[in-house]
Amino acid sequence: MNKIYILATALFLGANTNAQQLVDFEAVNLAPESYADGSAGNGAFVFNSEISFSNYSDEWGIQRGYTVSNMTDVNTAGFGNQYSVYAGNGSDGSENFGVYTPEAIISSVSSQAIRINSFKITNTTYAAISMRDGDAFAKQFGSITDASGEVDGTNGEDFFKVWVIGENADASQKDSLEFYLADYRFSDNTLDYIIDTWEIVDLSSLSINVDKLTFRIESSDNASWGMNTPAFFAIDDVEYELTTFIDENALVSLEVYPNPVNNILNIKGAKGQLTLTNASGKVVSSKKLMNTSIIDMTNFSQGVYFLKLDTATGSVVRKIIK
């Protein structure tokens, strides 16, 4: 049976009433310019006994999962340098970061309920140089030909993107967004880019509470067997929070509709105090609930809100989408 890495992480105090946790991978002890891929059989990386990063699977002898790395070689091309980050270091100049390889998953530990709010992303050196210069398997982005020199039909309008797929705790709901790690589709070629800095991916636009993250990578450079561009990216500063408070208390009823809402939010429930906060934890409405009430959200910004009802017998929270 695999063991599990249990790792303490730094505490990030956010504006929300719940303390935000930040997985920055620094708790993993690494020698300089090295990595840990889980191949020793220690199982997933688990931080604070709350959030899990899947790692090594030896199916077909291929790494599938997260590797924790501090490798900073931005010049060496090829698979032998697959765990270096093209930004030259971890986010904000830190040492460690994670490297995604296909089928890697971020999820809550089964005994915890979490909400993943954001993370930072950038290219690995392996993928970036492959796109920039081309190699034996993958094309040079912006070229009208593939790696073999044949015209590939792209007209040089290449891209490399990540689909970020969020799921709620029971996997009954999914939502997604896309992030481009490279984009050569601009009519003005001076705007073409390959990401070499750490960029924030904010998950607040997703319509669900994100308890689990999976990813799907797409490229304009493909062959009959699949994608030619190396399916790697680097990840850091995964911000999440415990959402035990969001579990429904059986003694407290709270009905809200419509949800998503454009204008008037209708509320039915037990007598108590209603508090509506935005995704940053700022209170935007507060009132007493006497079985029924409304909140006019016409002039509220689009995004995610949380409606909490406090009563004499308990509390309950509903996620509201505007």
For position 315, what pLDDT does the model report? 77
Question: How far is Cα 124 from Cα 55, in angstroms, rounded to an integer?
Answer: 17
Q: Is pLDDT above 70 for 67?
A: yes
233 with 127: CB under 8 angstroms? yes
Q: Which residue type occupies 172?
A: S
281 with 274: CB under 8 angstroms? no
H or E element, residue 125: helix 125-133
pTM: 0.73
CA within 13 Å, CB half, 136: 3
Specify the range with the lowest mean pLDDT, choosing from 128-132, 213-217, 243-247: 243-247
Question: How far is Cα 307 from Cα 272, in angstroms, rounded to an integer?
Answer: 12
Q: Is pLDDT above 70 for 5?
A: no
- 77-90 confidence digits (pLDDT tens): 999 999 999 999 99
Q: Report which of 237, 178, 241 is spatially closest to residue 209, judged by C-alpha positions.
A: 241
For position 105, what pLDDT does the model report? 92
Q: How many CB atoms lie within 10 A of CB 53?
A: 26
* Ranges in the chain annotated CATH 2.60.40.3080: 248-321
Alpha-carbon distances, residue 207 vs 165, 174, 204, 212 (angstroms): 11, 8, 8, 14
Question: How far is Cα 207 from Cα 130, in angstroms, rounded to an integer?
Answer: 35
Q: Report which of 151, 198, 160 is spatially closest to residue 181, judged by C-alpha positions.
A: 160
Q: What is the CA radius of gyration of the chain?
A: 22
Contacts for 31 with CB less than 8 Å, ≥ 6 apart: none
Confidence of residue 55 (pLDDT cuts 50, 70, 90): confident
- 282-299 confidence digits (pLDDT tens): 889 999 998 899 999 999
What integer is the mean pLDDT of 66-71? 96
Question: How far is Cα 220 from Cα 209, in angstroms, rounded to an integer?
Answer: 31
Q: Report which of 242, 309, 203, 200 is spatially closest to residue 19, judged by C-alpha positions.
A: 242
Confidence of residue 128 (pLDDT cuts 50, 70, 90): very high
Q: Is pLDDT above 60 for 25?
A: yes
43 with 3: CB under 8 angstroms? yes
Q: Is pLDDT above 80 for 112?
A: no
Q: Which fold has domain 5-244?
A: Jelly Rolls (2.60.120)
Question: How far is Cα 309 from Cα 322, in angstroms, rounded to an integer?
Answer: 19
Question: How far is Cα 67 from Cα 70, in angstroms, rounded to an integer?
Answer: 10
For position 15, what pLDDT does the model report? 32
H or E element, residue 314: strand 314-321
139 with 223: CB under 8 angstroms? no
Q: Is pLDDT above 50 for 248?
A: no
For position 243, what pLDDT does the model report? 72
DSSP annotation of 249 reads P
For position 9, what pLDDT does the model report? 42
Confidence of residue 221 (pLDDT cuts 50, 70, 90): very high
- 152-194 confidence digits (pLDDT tens): 999 999 999 999 999 987 788 899 999 999 999 999 999 999 9
Q: Which fold has domain 248-321?
A: Immunoglobulin-like (2.60.40)
Torsion angles phi and psi, residue 174, rounded to 5: -135, 155
Specify the range with the lowest mean pLDDT, choosing from 39-43, 209-213, 231-235: 39-43
Torsion angles phi and psi, residue 279, rounded to 5: -65, -20
* Ranges in the chain annotated CATH 2.60.120.1350: 5-244
